[in-house]
Amino acid sequence: MAFSMAGPLLGGWLVDRAVRRRGATGPLRLLVAVPLLALPSGLAVLAPGAFSAMLLVASRARSSR
């Protein structure tokens, strides 16, 4: 339940911030950037071993800072 509430709140905060910084094109830029940042975590499911999966997830955690 916590994540079902946190997701929309975080998404709304990101969109509001993008609109304030970039105007009307902010949400469009956000739609381009966010999937690219999430790509390594999504590919971790297809990794051949546990070490490479952890490496992909860790690279995603490091890039979000």
Q: Which residue has the tokens 């709304």?
A: 12
- Give CA separation, 29 vs 8, 17, 22, 38, 39, in Å: 18, 12, 9, 15, 16
Calculate helix-pair angle for 26-43, 2-22, nearest 10 degrees: 140
The low-confidence residues of the chain, meaning pLDDT below 70, are: 60-65
Q: Say what the pLDDT of residue 61 is.
A: 57
